[in-house]
């Protein structure tokens, strides 16, 4: 297996499976009547435990103020988005199977920002990227209207 294949498996395919499974836990939690704040605190505890677990395998706790601020910004934005999803699950009768494809259009936002901020457009095949992006939008529209 090539290094790129390994990277796509570990950083792409496996997280997709895990993120997909996590939506089930999200729906189960909110369907049992947890409050939004308790949901986010419990989620944060889960994330902290995973961080401690990863530290057992990788004893290099590298940190700088700048890297920590970016990680904190990621946590804030992820927490806000996750809170909005939980709020929606708690207050509206929406199936998780319709909601997940919509909020996973975040892929398009991340792609666009990476193309601009990191100049990744230099290393990608634009036609394939645009075709894939159009398919993501089409899929989300189909699922949302199912």
Would you give the DSSP letter of residue 119? -
Give the model confidence (pLDDT) of 114-127 as tens digits: 888 988 888 888 88
Place of tokens 């509206």: 92
How far apart are the C-alpha atoms of 48 and 42, rounded to whole Å?
10
- Residue 133: CB atoms within 10 A of its CB come to 15
State the Cα–Cα distance between residues 47 and 56, nearest whole angstrom. 15
The better pLDDT of the pair 98, 38 is held by: 38
- Both structure tokens of 120: 């990744």
Q: How many CB atoms lie within 10 A of CB 86?
A: 22
For residue 144, name the pLDDT band (cuts at 50, 70, 90). Answer: confident
Segments making up each domain of the chain, as ranges: 3-104, 105-146
Per-residue confidence (pLDDT) for residue 127, from 0 to 100: 86
DSSP state of 124: S
* pTM as predicted: 0.81
* Per-residue pLDDT at 112 exceeds 80: yes
Q: Is 15 helix (H, G, I), strand (E, B) or coil?
A: helix
- For residues 135 and 133, give the distance between their C-alpha atoms in angstroms, rounded to a whole number: 5
Contact at 8 Å (CB) between 100 and 128? no
Predicted confidence (pLDDT) at residue 92 exceeds the cutoff of 90: yes
């Amino acid at each position: 297996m090539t290094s790129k294949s390994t990277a796509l498996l570990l950083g792409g395919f496996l997280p997709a499976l895990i993120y997909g499974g996590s939506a089930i836990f999200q729906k189960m939690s909110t369907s049992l009547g947890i409050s939004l704040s308790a949901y986010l605190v419990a989620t944060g505890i889960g994330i902290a435990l995973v961080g401690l677990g990863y530290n057992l395998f990788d004893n290099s706790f590298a940190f700088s103020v700048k890297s920590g601020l970016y990680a904190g910004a990621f946590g804030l934005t992820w927490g806000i988005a996750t809170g909005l999803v939980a709020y929606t699950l708690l207050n509206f009768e929406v199936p998780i199977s319709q909601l997940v494809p919509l909020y996973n259009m975040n892929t398009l936002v991340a792609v666009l920002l990476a193309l601009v901020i990191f100049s990744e457009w230099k290393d990608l095949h634009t036609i394939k990227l645009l075709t894939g992006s159009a398919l993501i939008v089409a899929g989300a529209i189909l699922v949302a209207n199912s």
